[in-house]
Structures are given as C-alpha cells and as structure tokens.
C-alpha cells in the first residue's frame, strides 16, 4: 500500500469489491435483510444517447447515491436500481444518422453509460437492471396495454380504497360493461362496437402533428412554437389520422385530487394542475338564426364566465368544428374554406401563441344570445381549438383580452358587463368584479335574469341556475387535459399486441403469445415524404411475414404502428421490484413490500419513497405514469394509488459556451485567451477570446451537445478521481439550483480529500511505495492476496507493511467518557448532526462545508482518537465512498464501511459551551462579548456592560431596559 492518495488505483479496486460482494443488493421479501424497513430511491432513468454522459447528467445520480448509502447506514433495506429508457425517436434517429441498426447502437450506448456510472462509484443494484427495448421487458409493457384495452371506466362506482379514501369512478374489466337492451338486440357485432366505444384504449380519427420528414406523429411538446419538429427542425403539419388513444381524461379529477397526497415541489404540482386544467363553468346553447326551423342548429359553448353572457357580441368556431361547412353562407364559402385549409395545417402551439396576430373570417351566419335574444355574428378563427371545451366560444371582448384584440381587429362591438376596481380599464378586464349592464336597465324585460350589482361569484351561480331553468344551458366542469395520443409511425418502439380482421374488427392478441416481438429489419428507416397529406407508410408495414398472421384458421394483420417512448417509462419503477420474474409483472409480495401498500389506512399514497430527476419531465412522464398506475390500482395489480411519494428536481449544471461572429457555437474546448490559455482556466476573467484565431463571445447555458460545451466525466475522474467529482458537484450550490461549472474550483475539493487522506496516512517516514503496476494492497505483485481484508491482523490493527504508516497523531481507543471538554469531540458531534440534517433536506453543499471545518480542526489538533477519525469517515462515506473504504481498511477493519451504522451524536455535545454575542446601545453596535451558552438574562446584561466601549457609552446614564436575544445580541436602552 502506498502512502500517497492514488485515486486511480483506489477507486477501481473498491468498485470491483462492491460489485463482487453485492454490497448494494436489495433484499426482496423472504430474503435476508427484508426484515428491515424498506426505502426505495429512484432516478429518472436515462435515454442512452450516443454521446455518453457529460458532467451535468450525474448531478441527480450522485445525490440519490448519497441518500441511498446514508439510508443503508441508518438501517434500511434500500432499493436503488438503474435501467435504460431505450426505445423511441431519439434512438431511432441516431441509428438513421449513423446507418447502424438501433438495436446495435442502443446496446453500445448502454454499455458506455454503464461504464461511466460505475466509474463515478454509484451504488446501484445492477442485478435489477432493465432496458425498455428488451423483449423480457416490453412483453409486460404490452401486457399492461392489454389490461388497459380490456377495461372501461365506470364513472359512478363508489368505493373506498385501502387508505380509507372515498373514490368515485374506477377502471373495470370490459366484460362488466352494461350493454343496453337495444344494442344487445342488434347482435354481437353491435355489442362489440359498443364495447370498443368505451374501452380505455381505442382507435379514433383525430387531428395530429404530422412530420412527413420524420415520418411520424409528434406530441405537442415535440413541436416548436413556430410549427417545426423539436428534433431535426422539420416542418410539422396538422392533419387527421386514425390513431390509438388512451382515455386519460376519465382520470382527470383523480389525477388532480391525489396531488394533495404527494410530497412534490409546489411548482411541479402547479404545472400538473395547469396541464389537467380543471375549469368550473357552464354550457350555454346559442341557436342558429335561420328562417327554416330545421336549420336552427344549436351551437353549444363552454364558458368559465357565464356571468358575462350579456357582453357576448359574437361567436367563434374552431376551423375543425363540424358546423362550419353547414352554416357558412354561399357568399362566404370560398373565403371560409381557404381559411380552414390553412388553419388546420398549423399546430396548436402556433395557433394559440400569445404573440400571434389574431386572424379569422365571417361565416355569414348569425346566432341568438339566449339571455337577451340579440343577433350576433358567427366567425371562424384559429385561436379556438376543437380539442378544448366544445370547439366554440362566446366572445366577450369587454372581459377577455384575446376577444378584445380580435374585436378591435375586425371592428366588432365591445360591451362592458363587469365593473373593475376604480382606476382600472374595463376593456379586456378578466378578473372578478361587479356585474353591470346585465341587462342594461333601460332594456330589461321580465323574463331576463338580472345580474346587476352582484359580485362575480354570485352572478355566476345565479345565471347558471337561470340557464338550467330555461333549458338553454347547465353548470359543468371541463378539463384542458386531452386523451393521450398513443401511436407512432416508427420502427424502434413496442409493437401493439393488436390484430386487425379483414372486416375491420379489432382483436387483442392472447397474453400467451406475448411478447409480440419487434421484427428484425435491415431497412428500418421511416418513409419520409415532402407531401404532408400522403398516406403514411410505417416501417413495420414493410415486414410482410411479420404483419400477416393466422389465428384459429382466420387471417389477420398486425397493428403496424408502435407505442411512444413514454410507454416503457410509465411503469419501469414496478419492474425493478422483481426484474427477473417471467411469470408476472411483479410478485404481489414484492410489490406490496416495496410500494408500501397497507390495509390499515396509514399507507402513504405513493410507493417510491424518493424520485429524483429534472423538471423537464414535470408534466408528461409523471402524468402518464400516474395514469397507468391508477389503472393498475383499480384492477388490483398494485397496492398504492400513486407511484411516487416524494419528488425532487435537481437543477442544471451550466457551462460557458462560445459563439463566433456568425452566431454559430464553437467547441468550448478549443477556445483560448490572448495568451493561449484555455478559456476554462480564465473563466472568471474578462478579456478577448478566440477559437482558431477567430474572435468569439462567451455566454452561459445548460451543458449539452447543442451548445458544444460538454465536459466528459471520464476526463475529470482521470485527473482528480470520482470522489472529487462527486464532492464538487454536490458542493457547487443548492441541489435544486442551476450553477456554473468551473474547472478551477474542482481543485479545492481534491485538496480537501488529500487532507482527509493525511488524517489517517502519515506522509512522514514512509519506507517507499509499491512498484508500478501492482494491485492496491498487494505487497508484491508476485504474491497477491486474494482477499483485500487479509492484509489486516485480527483485532483490527493494521498489518505492518512497507511504504506507509498510520498518522502518529492518531491514538487508539475512544475519547474519555467525559469528553465535554474536548473541542474536537464536541465539533464532531455537531458535524454528525449537521450532516445528518443536511442530507435529509438535500443541502449537501453545507454538509460538505461542515465536514471541511472538522478536518481543519483535526489537522490543528495535536492528537485524535481513532474512534473520532472512524466516526468521521462514516459520515463522509456516502459522499466520497472510495477514499473512505480505503482508509477504513487501512485502520484495520475487515468489513466494508458501507455496512457500518451511521454514527450517533449526543444532543448535549452539539450545544456550544459559550456563545459570542453582540451588544448594542440604543440600537448601535458597540462591541462583542462571550458568555456561557446557558447564561441567564441577568448574566448576559451584566457581561455586556463590562465591554469597554459599552461602559464608556453608559457612563452616567441610567439603564432604562435591556432587550436580550439569546445567543445573538443584547440591546441596552438608555
């Protein structure tokens, strides 16, 4: 063993040891260790890209690893697994760009990621590793889809869940769906069609974001505001297509309500609430003004402000609304058709952007306002979406900014119906106020509902009752949430376990035939086209032998779309519980143990105790996973109503990025200053910077390939070691904050670890170091020991080995029983408490700062008890595990430090014996003084008066009163 801190040898040694000895293996029910309380900590599992990890990726992984190691030391059976979100568009596009099959590139990328994660010393239970593209995994993704497909949502079923909560509505097997007599009388085909209309997974023709260049449908979140694909920057068009949909809207209220049961950041909860978008309001029926009674169509609108009905001066229909071609008059038809054609090409984001200039066309038709029977025009405009509400709105420009902008553009009337606070312009005023002109007093008729003078909440209730009484509307609740578009026209995804008959009937594949394997295809590329309206041709449709199957003597065609990338990530946390089970999704006992389901009403709502990942997945992944989990909960396959109890979002690591005169990003590693010094070395200084002789400008942004400012963790680990990287990333600032990477600051953490090393290993009188190339701990490369623990004597004393020795300032044994007078011992108790509290609240940066304080004091002390050093190493071990394992071994221990208990602290020893306080005279600071920490107020005041500057200020003046703030200050009033 060497006396030097050789991290390049130490860290691989302990990484091998942990893996060979299963140090991070979690115990399932019935296995040794399962008697402990469980703790399930999970990272958002990564998509394994071709570029590998950069130093921004492990930020959350290091934090979760610290938590996992700490919890093990606190006596928990910890499950901390890792897997790969390996299906989906990014992996397929990478394969298209490289010309290598996605199965090959994905596996290679996984190996790169896995190697890097091991290098960082992350303590995952690799025996539970999964990848969403493995057949053994996506078999169960398909199984869950079949459960969703073979279920319907019963909205009236009332039941009490295991925690004693009343639940209204639940998924039930499709066989339990009540079939109306008139449907049953039409025969089995009608019955099956009725069931298909109620399934939680169904086929429907819906408007989608179609990218012909990528050959697939994109989610709204994958399309930029200017109507282009987020990946590849290709044009995106709106067009109707027959797609698989999941009926997530049935769960809108439960998804909203159950957020209250979760320990999630308020910002994330707000994003989910806004996405679900619950709105209380009313349906209002406007009648088309037509001479022919048969043409008097009803246009139903939804509004959250029925109290403003008297201010509705026009109606607006979405371009896709079914009545547009019916009500448009002949003289307006050509203009309307042209507008509709252009509008339907645009994405929802482009149509509803706040900055967008409002456009629209008049249909030539009119409707009657039910509250005053006024004749108002009907327009078509693209800022109204067919997918929200009823696809039509009543426009009240006096109380809505968008309606006001539209009215001003086209010269439509604006009527005030809400009185705002004094001094506020009523035009476009959207907040609550007092109803006015509802109706105008001079026009009021007996049959009308009078809202004048009522505050907005009361006016809403009154007009809603009136609408219901008159049969022209009703109170209701709407959600912004839409059903989940669940199919993609790509190759690299889970095949649907669905068969199509020639007569159009859909048949679910038998569970015994799962998995439906993805066929091996040399040509897996999507069919790209310049024509946005060409019929899509999916890659799977070209796999003829795979597409055509025979079941029970009948010919079928397989579904040729694939599931979206979200599918595999909706349930992966469950597979980790029982990753090698070939008979079931998860063993019920394992699910109940790890997810924490109980029958006594005291269970937490979510099963995963801690879920760590970036806020960029705040809406879709979390919402979709919650939806799938609730379906499985209703059907009895999981024991908790929510998947993730506590959520923590780490911030981003920012890095300097550089643009040339054209505004193009250049490689950050090639930028230098005028002296040729790398820009990373002068990051804190101003001055000209150059890339290959051309001037560049510096900015800071999220580390990533697009900004060309990636820092590879391999390089940092090679130079400073994994423990230094771990500590630096945690020390940069609050975990939830974004912070800038600065290579110069890493050195400070490396020096800290060197000082920790010298606490144990003496750098004086060393007899030499081991020959190059020998194993760490091997006295001779020719006679290596097989067990790293065998280099220690019995009784815990280190063996005599040449090349290093224990720091002579370390004395055997524990501190004396009365250690209240030992400042190093008192500081150690404070440190243990501080680090423990900081880990619990994710304040890792302040925990490291406190440990640094103790190390400084330990180096200043003439002697240290061995027990003090060992307790400190146990505190540091979750943060810097490699160096702590090595020093623990050198101190003579035969057991891995990860298996040691967390050290206890004495509350009494964490309190200071004395405190320094400030003294003020009439609010002005006059000095500082020290008193016993438990001093009474009288003692504090007396000591304060002894301060020289205070005594001078008080000379000859009577003390009126003294204000004492214990431990901080005393203010003497004269």
Q: What is the tens place of the pLDDT at every residue in 330-373?
A: 999 999 999 999 888 787 877 887 667 889 999 999 999 999 99
Contact 101, 95 (CB under 8 A): yes
Look at the block and give the residue holding tokens 């796999």. 543
- Residue 768: the pLDDT is 34
H/E segment holding residue 930: strand 924-932
Q: Are residues 588 and 678 in the same domain?
A: no
Phi/psi for 286 (5° steps) reads -100, 135
Q: What's the pLDDT tens digit per position in 98-122?
A: 889 999 999 999 999 999 999 999 9
What is the predicted pLDDT for the residue at 800?
A: 40
Over residues 139-168, mean pLDDT: 89
- CB-side exposure of 702: number of CA atoms within 13 Å? 11
Q: Kind of pairing, strands 498-500 and 314-317? A: unpaired
Q: d(Cα 119, Cα 817) in Å, to the nearest integer?
A: 42
Q: Please return the burial class of 307, using the count of CB atoms within 10 Å of its CB with bins 0-12, 13-18 and 19+.
A: buried
Q: Does residue 715 register a pLDDT over 50?
A: yes
Terminal alpha carbon distance of the chain = 68
How many structural domains comprise the chain?
5
Structure letter (DSSP) for residue 608: E
Domain end residue (candidates: 883, 910, 937)? 910
> Does any domain span residue 8?
no
Cβ atoms of residues 962 and 941 within 8 Å:
yes
Residues in CB range of 752: below 8 A, 6 or more apart: 727, 848, 852, 855
Residue with tokens 């005393």: 970
507 CB burial (10 A radius; 0-12, 13-18, 19+): middle
Instruction: Give the 3-state secondary structure of residue 99.
Output: coil
Distance CA 838, CA 843 (A): 5
Instruction: Say whether the peptide bond before residue 515 is cis (omega within 30 degrees of 0).
Output: yes
| CATH number assigned to the domain comprising residue 904 | 1.10.730.10
In a domain, 807, yes or no: yes
Q: What contacts 162, CB < 8 A, 6 or more positions away?
A: 597, 598, 599, 601, 603, 639
Contact 532, 345 (CB under 8 A): yes
User: Measuring CA to CA, which residue among 671, 700, 707 is closest to residue 687?
Assistant: 671
390 shares its domain with 288: yes
Task: Examine the pLDDT at 785 and tell me if it is beyond 50.
Answer: no
Q: Are residues 82 and 53 in the same domain?
A: yes
Q: Which string of DSSP letters, residue by residue, matches 537-601? A: --GGGG-HHHHEEEETTEEEEE---B--THHHHTSHHHHGGGTT-SSSSS-HHHHHHHH---SSS
Is the pLDDT at 790 greater than 80? The verdict is no
Question: Would you call 962 helix, strand, or coil by DSSP?
Answer: strand
pLDDT value at position 766? 43
Same domain flag for 826 and 963 = no
**Residues 590 and 692 reside in one and the same domain:** no
For the chain, what percent of residues have pLDDT higher than 90? 73
pTM value? 0.88
Per-residue pLDDT tens over the stretch 374-391: 999 999 999 999 888 899
Which SS3 state, helix, strand or coil, does residue 922 take?
A: coil
Residue 821 has pLDDT above 80, yes or no: no
Could you give the CA distance from residue 754 to residue 888 in angstroms, rounded to a whole number? 15
- Alpha-carbon distance 755 to 160, whole Å? 59
pLDDT confidence tier of residue 163, bands split at 50, 70 and 90: low
The DSSP symbol for 904 reads P
Helix, strand, coil shares, percent, the chain, to 5: 35, 20, 40
Grouping H, G, I as helix, E, B as strand and the rest as coil, residue 85 is coil
| CA pseudo-torsion sign 720, 722, 723, 726 | positive
Q: Give backbone dihedrals phi and psi of 32, rounded to 5 degrees, phi first.
A: -55, 130
* CA–CA distance, 616 with 605 (Å, rounded to integer): 23
- For residue 257, how far is the Cα from the chain centroid? 19
At 293 the pLDDT is 63
Same domain assignment for residues 870 and 949: no
The partner residues of 698 in beta bridges, in order of sequence, read 658
pLDDT digits (tens, 9 = 90+) for 942-971: 999 999 999 999 988 999 999 999 889 999
Among candidate residues 894, 59, 204, the one with its CA nearest the CA of residue 506: 204
Q: Average the pLDDT over 429-449 and give the result.
A: 90
* Pairwise CA distance, residues 355 & 378, whole Å: 24
Scored b (16 or more CB within 10 A) or e, 654-674 reads bbbbbbbeeeebbebbebbee
Do 890 and 954 lie in one domain? The reply is no
Q: Is residue 694 in some structural domain? A: yes
Q: Report the pLDDT value the prediction gives residue 138, as an integer from 0 to 100.
A: 98
Long-range contacts at 829-833 (CB < 8 A, ≥ 24 apart): 829/905, 829/906, 829/909, 829/910, 830/905, 830/909, 830/910, 831/872, 831/875, 832/871, 832/875, 832/903, 832/904, 832/905, 833/905, 833/907, 833/910
- Contact, 44 vs 6, CB < 8 A? no
Pair of tokens at residue 279: 């709105």
- On average, the pLDDT of the chain sits at 90
The CATH number of the domain where 943 resides is what?
3.10.20.590
Distance separating alpha carbons of residues 79 and 70, to the nearest angstrom: 12
505 within a domain of the structure (yes/no)? no
Tokens of 377: 């025009």
pLDDT at 466: 97
Which residues, in sequence order, are bridge partners of residue 928? 918
pLDDT tens digits along 326-339: 999 999 999 999 99
Instruction: Please give the C-alpha separations between residue 191 and each of 499, 502, 504, in angstroms, as whole numbers.
Output: 19, 19, 15
What is the pLDDT confidence band of residue 769, given thresholds at 50, 70 and 90?
very low
Peptide bond into 439 cis (omega under 30): yes
Confidence (pLDDT) at 43: 98
The pLDDT of residue 602 is 57
Q: Which domain holds residue 812?
A: 750-766+803-910
Report, as an integer, the average pLDDT of 839-864.
96
**Residue 729 located in a structural domain:** no
DSSP H or E segment with residue 469: helix 456-470
Q: Which pairs with CB-CB distance under 8 Å and at least 24 residues apart come from 436-443? A: 437/310, 437/311, 438/307, 438/308, 438/309, 438/310, 438/311, 439/310, 439/371, 439/372, 443/372
Strands (E), 102-227: 130-131, 151-160, 166-173, 201-211, 216-218
In a domain, 777, yes or no: no
* Stretch (H or E) spanning 428: none
Q: Phi and psi dihedrals of 303, rounded to 5? A: -140, 140
H-helix or E-strand spanning residue 480: none
Question: Among positive and negative, which fits the CA dihedral 394, 397, 398, 402?
Answer: positive
Instruction: Quickly state the pLDDT bin for 599 (edges 50, 70, 90).
Output: low
Same domain, 386 and 326: yes
Residue 205 lies in a domain: no
Whole-number Cα distances in Å, 15 to 119, 121, 439, 882: 8, 6, 78, 8
Say if CB 273 and CB 461 are below 8 A apart. Answer: no
The answer to whether position 685 is within a domain reads yes
pLDDT of residue 638: 96
pLDDT at residue 818 greater than cutoff 70: no
Sign of CA dihedral 800, 806, 809, 813: negative
Q: 749 pLDDT exceeds 90?
A: yes
pLDDT confidence tier of residue 815, bands split at 50, 70 and 90: low
pLDDT of residue 1: 66
Are the CB atoms for 546 and 539 separated by under 8 Å? no
Are 948 and 927 in contact by the 8 Å Cβ rule? The answer is yes
Average pLDDT over residues 458-469: 97
Give me the DSSP letters along 127-156.
GG-EETTSHHHHHHHHHHHHHHHTEEEEEE
Residue 363: DSSP 8-state: E
Could you give the 3-state DSSP secondary structure of residue 752? helix
Same domain (yes/no): 366, 473: yes
pLDDT at 814: 61
CB 681 within 8 A of CB 747: no
Residues 693 and 808 in one domain: no
For residues 730 and 723, the answer to whether their CB atoms sit within 8 Å is no
680 in the same domain as 615: no
Residues 590, 790: Cα–Cα separation, whole Å: 37
Distance CA(524)–CA(502), nearest Å, equals 26
Which one, of 92, 5, 18, lies nearest residue 49 by Cα?
Answer: 92
Look at residue 203 and tell me whether its pLDDT is greater than 50: yes
355 plus 288 within the same structural domain: yes
pLDDT tens, position by position, 400-424 = 999 999 999 999 999 999 999 999 9
Residue 784 has a pLDDT of 30
Helix (H, G, I), strand (E, B) or coil at 420: coil
Which of the listed residues 882, 910, 938 is the one where a domain comes to its end?
Answer: 910
């Amino acid at each position: 063993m060497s006396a030097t801190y050789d991290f390049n040898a130490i860290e691989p040694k302990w990484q091998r040891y942990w893996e060979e000895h299963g140090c991070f293996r979690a115990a399932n029910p019935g296995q040794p260790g399962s008697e402990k309380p469980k703790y399930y900590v999970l990272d958002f599992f990564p998509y394994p890209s071709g570029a590998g990890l950069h130093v921004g990726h492990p930020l959350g992984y290091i934090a979760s690893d610290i938590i996992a190691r700490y919890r093990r030391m606190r006596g928990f059976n910890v499950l901390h697994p890792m897997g790969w979100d390996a299906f989906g568009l990014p992996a397929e596009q990478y394969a298209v760009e490289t010309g290598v099959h996605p199965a090959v590139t994905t596996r290679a990328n996984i190996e790169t990621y896995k190697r890097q994660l091991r290098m960082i010393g992350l303590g995952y239970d690799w025996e539970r590793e999964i990848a969403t593209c493995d057949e053994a995994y996506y078999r169960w993704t398909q199984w869950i889809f079949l459960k969703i497909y073979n279920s319907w949502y019963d909205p009236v079923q009332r039941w009490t869940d295991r925690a004693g909560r009343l639940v209204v509505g639940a998924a039930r097997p499709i066989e339990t769906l009540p079939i109306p007599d008139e449907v049953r009388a039409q025969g089995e085909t009608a019955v099956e069609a009725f069931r298909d209309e109620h399934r939680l997974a169904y086929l429907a023709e819906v408007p989608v974001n179609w990218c012909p260049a990528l050959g697939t449908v994109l989610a709204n979140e994958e399309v930029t505001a200017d109507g282009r694909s987020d990946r590849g920057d290709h044009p995106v068009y709106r067009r109707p297509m027959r797609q698989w949909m999941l009926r997530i809207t049935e769960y809108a209220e439960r998804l909203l309500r159950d957020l209250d049961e979760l320990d999630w950041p308020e910002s994330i909860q707000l994003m989910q609430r806004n996405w679900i978008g619950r709105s209380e309001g009313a349906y209002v029926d406007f009648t088309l003004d037509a001479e022919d009674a048969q043409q008097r169509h009803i246009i139903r609108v939804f509004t959250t402000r029925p109290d403003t009905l008297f201010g509705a001066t026009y109606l607006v229909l979405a371009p896709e609304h079914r009545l547009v071609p019916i009500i448009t008059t002949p003289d307006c038809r050509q203009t309307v058709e042209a507008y509709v054609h252009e509008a339907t090409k645009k994405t929802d984001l482009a149509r509803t952007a706040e900055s967008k200039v409002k456009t629209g066309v008049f249909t030539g038709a009119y409707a009657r306002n039910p509250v005053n029977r006024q004749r108002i025009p009907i327009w078509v405009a693209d800022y109204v979406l067919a997918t929200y509400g009823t696809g039509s709105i009543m426009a009240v420009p006096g109380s809505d900014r968008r309606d006001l902008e539209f009215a001003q553009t086209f010269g439509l009337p604006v009527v005030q119906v809400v009185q705002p606070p004094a001094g506020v312009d009523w035009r476009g005023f959207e907040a609550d106020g007092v109803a006015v002109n509802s109706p105008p007093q001079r026009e009021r008729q007996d049959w009308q509902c009078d809202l004048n003078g009522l505050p907005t909440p009361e006016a809403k209730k009154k007009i809603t009752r009136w609408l219901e009484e008159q049969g022209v509307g009703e109170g209701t609740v709407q959600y912004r949430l839409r059903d989940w578009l669940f199919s993609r026209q790509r190759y690299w995804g889970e095949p649907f376990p669905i068969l199509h008959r020639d007569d159009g009937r859909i048949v679910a594949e038998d569970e015994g035939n799962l998995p439906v394997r993805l066929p091996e295809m040399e040509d897996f590329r999507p069919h790209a086209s310049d024509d946005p309206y060409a019929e899509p041709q999916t890659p799977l449709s070209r796999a003829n032998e795979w597409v055509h199957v025979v079941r029970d003597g009948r010919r079928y065609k397989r579904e040729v779309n694939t599931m979206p990338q979200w599918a595999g990530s909706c349930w992966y946390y469950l597979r980790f519980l029982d990753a090698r089970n070939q008979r079931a999704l998860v063993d019920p006992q394992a699910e109940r143990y790890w997810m924490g389901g109980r029958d006594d009403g005291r269970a937490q709502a979510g099963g995963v105790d801690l879920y760590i990942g970036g806020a960029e997945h705040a809406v879709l992944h979390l919402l979709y996973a919650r939806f799938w989990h609730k379906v499985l909960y209703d059907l009895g396959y999981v024991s908790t109503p929510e998947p993730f109890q506590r959520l923590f979002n780490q911030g981003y690591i920012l890095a300097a990025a550089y643009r040339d005169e054209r505004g193009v990003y250049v490689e950050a590693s090639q930028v230098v200053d005028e002296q040729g010094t790398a820009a990373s070395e002068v990051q804190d200084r101003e001055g000209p910077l150059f890339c290959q002789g051309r001037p560049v400008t510096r900015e800071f942004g999220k580390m990533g390939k697009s900004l060309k400012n990636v820092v590879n963790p391999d390089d940092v680990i090679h130079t400073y070691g994994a423990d230094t990287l771990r500590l630096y990333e945690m020390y940069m600032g609050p975990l939830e904050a974004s912070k800038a990477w600065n290579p110069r600051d890493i050195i400070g953490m490396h020096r800290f670890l060197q000082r920790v090393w010298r606490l144990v290993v003496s750098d004086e009188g060393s007899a030499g170091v081991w020959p190059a190339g020998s194993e760490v701990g091997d006295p001779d490369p020719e006679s290596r020991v097989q067990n790293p623990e065998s280099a220690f004597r019995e009784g815990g004393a280190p063996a005599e080995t040449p090349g290093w020795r224990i720091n002579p300032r370390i004395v055997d044994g524990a501190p004396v029983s009365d250690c209240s007078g030992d400042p190093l011992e008192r500081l150690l108790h404070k440190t243990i408490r501080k680090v423990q509290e900081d880990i619990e609240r994710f304040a890792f940066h302040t925990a490291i700062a406190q440990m640094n304080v103790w190390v400084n004091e330990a180096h200043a002390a003439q002697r240290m008890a061995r027990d003090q050093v060992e307790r400190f190493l146990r505190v540091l071990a979750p943060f810097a595990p490699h160096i702590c394992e090595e020093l623990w071994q050198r101190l003579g221990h035969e057991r891995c430090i990860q298996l040691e208990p967390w050290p206890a602290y004495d509350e009494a020893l964490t309190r200071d014996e004395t405190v320094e306080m400030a003294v003020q005279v009439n609010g002005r600071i006059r000095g500082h003084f020290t008193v016993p920490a438990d001093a009474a107020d009288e003692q504090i005041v007396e000591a304060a008066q002894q301060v020289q500057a205070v005594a001078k200020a008080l000379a000859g003046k009577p003390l009126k009163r003294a204000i004492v703030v214990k431990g901080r200050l005393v203010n003497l009033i004269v």
